[in-house]
Structures are given as C-alpha cells and as structure tokens.
C-alpha cells in the first residue's frame, strides 16, 4: 500500500467527504419532509390524499435509485427540468429516501396504541389535535431509529451521484484512480471517510434516540 500517496491526497478526499455530507444532509432533510407528508397522506381517511402517497412509495421503492437519478438528470431537460449535478443529486436522493422514510414514519404512527386515539377523540379533540398532541409525540420516539437506518443507507447510497459527476467521495476516488492507477489505495481511503461519516452520524442518532426515550 502506497502510504505516501495516501498522505498526499487525503486532504482532497476530506474535501470530497464534505460534499458527501452536504448532499446527504440536504437529501435527508428533503426526504424527511416528503416522508412526513406522504405518511400523513397515506393514513388519511381521504382517498384523494391516500392514493398519491401510496403511489409515491410504491414507485420510488420499486425502481432503482440509479434509474430515478438518470431520469431526473438526463431525462429532465427533455421535459424542461434543468438541474446541475449537485441539485439533481440532492433532489433525486431526497425523493428516493423519502419513500422509505414515509414507511418508517407511518410504521411509528400506527404502532401507537389505538386506545390513545380513542381516549383523545372521546374527550372531543379533533383528528388533527389528536395527531398533533397525542400520537406524533409518541410516534416521534419510535421513528428515530428507523429513520436513522434510512439516513445511513442514504449516506452510503449517495455514492451513486458519482455517476452524474458530482465531486463527492466516490467520484473523487475514481478520478484519482485514473491519474494514479492505484485503485486499492483510493477506494480504501474513500471507505475510511465513509466509515467516519457513518460512525459520527450513528452516534448522533443513538444520542437522540436515548434522549427521546429517556424523557420520562
């Protein structure tokens, strides 16, 4: 292993890691918003809200993220959507992870005992009030872990945006390989950065999870 080479290029990988973090964080935030709206929609009594939410989840979980990304980035201009690689990466990844996050949020909401809703409704609280004050605060505790799993999957999955030439970790590794012919060192270095990111992120999720479940 060419330690000296690693010593020379690691700083560029660190910069690329920041790009990976940036894409991931923004995609996670987008995914959370979409997932939350879709989860509420999929639990609505109104079929006009339920149907689009279900369709969103099936379509985006049922097709490869890579194809979704290509459709958006390469196919987008054909229908008037012009995005730079970074934008396409964030939006593509965000929409994709949102479908998974929808299922995590929905699962947490329906895991709250039905008696909680009944107790709220039978005091005269409306559907929205019960959701807001009774169900969501309890569901929130149960969604931290699954959403953490979704987010970590996204961080690692963000490597696919290298295919639309976003200068993140994976693409950086590829570029250095073509100039150094040292694939082992370059992919090894990229892996180290992924592990660092995922480890820090997992630690944060664990902390939040302990915090919310220890609240009482």
Partner 1 sequence: MLNAAPPATGRFDMSDPIVKIRGLKKNFGALQVLKGIDMDIEPGHIVALIGASGSGKSTLLRTVNQLEDVTDGEIWFDGDLVNKKLPHRAREKHLNLLRQNIGMVFQHFNLFPHLTAMENVTLAPIMLGRMNKAKAIEHAQQLLDKVGLDDRAEYYPSQLSGGQKQRVAIARSLAMKPKLMLFDEVTSALDPELVGEVNRVMKQLAKEHMTMVIVTHDLRFAEDVSDHVVFMADGYVVEAGPPEQLFRNPQKPKTKSFLHQVFDE
By the criterion CB under 8 A, which residues form the site for partner 1?
45, 113, 115-116, 118-127, 129, 133-134, 137-138, 215-216
Least distance between partner 1 and beta carbon 140 (Å): 9
Least distance between partner 1 and beta carbon 133 (Å): 6
Q: Which CB sits closer to partner 1, 89 or 120?
A: 120
Nearest residue to 186 via CA among 196, 195, 178, 177: 177
Q: Which CB sits closer to partner 1, 199 or 213?
A: 213
Least distance between partner 1 and beta carbon 43 (Å): 16
183: three-class secondary structure by DSSP: helix
What are the distances in angstroms from CA 79 to CA 72, 73, 76, 87? 10, 11, 5, 16
Q: Which CB sits closer to partner 1, 61 or 211?
A: 211
Q: Would you say how long the chain is, in residues?
A: 216
Q: What distance in Å separates the CA atoms of residue 174 and residue 163, rounded to the nearest whole number?
A: 10
> Residues 30, 91: contact at Cβ < 8 Å?
yes
Q: Which CB sits closer to partner 1, 83 or 140?
A: 140
Least distance between partner 1 and beta carbon 122 (Å): 5
């Amino acid at each position: 292993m060419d330690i000296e080479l690693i010593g020379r290029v690691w700083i560029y990988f660190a910069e690329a890691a920041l790009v990976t973090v940036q894409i991931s964080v923004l995609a996670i935030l987008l995914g959370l918003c979409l997932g939350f709206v879709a989860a509420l929609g999929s639990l609505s009594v109104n079929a006009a809200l339920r149907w689009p939410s279900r369709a969103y989840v099936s379509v985006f979980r049922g097709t490869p993220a890579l194809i979704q990304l290509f459709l958006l980035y390469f196919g987008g201009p054909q229908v008037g959507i012009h995005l730079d690689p970074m934008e396409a990466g964030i939006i593509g990844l965000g929409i994709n992870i949102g479908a998974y996050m929808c299922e995590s949020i929905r699962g947490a909401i329906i895991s709250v005992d039905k008696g909680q809703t009944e107790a709220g409704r039978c005091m005269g609280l409306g559907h929205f009030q019960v959701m807001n004050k009774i169900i969501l605060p309890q569901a929130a505790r149960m969604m931290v872990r699954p959403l953490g799993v979704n987010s970590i999957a996204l961080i690692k999955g963000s490597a696919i945006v290298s295919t639309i030439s976003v200068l993140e970790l994976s693409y950086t590794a590829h570029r250095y390989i073509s100039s150094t012919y040292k694939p082992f060192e370059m992919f090894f270095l990229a892996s180290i950065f992924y592990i660092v990111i995922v480890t820090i992120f997992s630690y944060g999720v664990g902390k939040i999870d302990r915090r919310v479940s220890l609240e009482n």
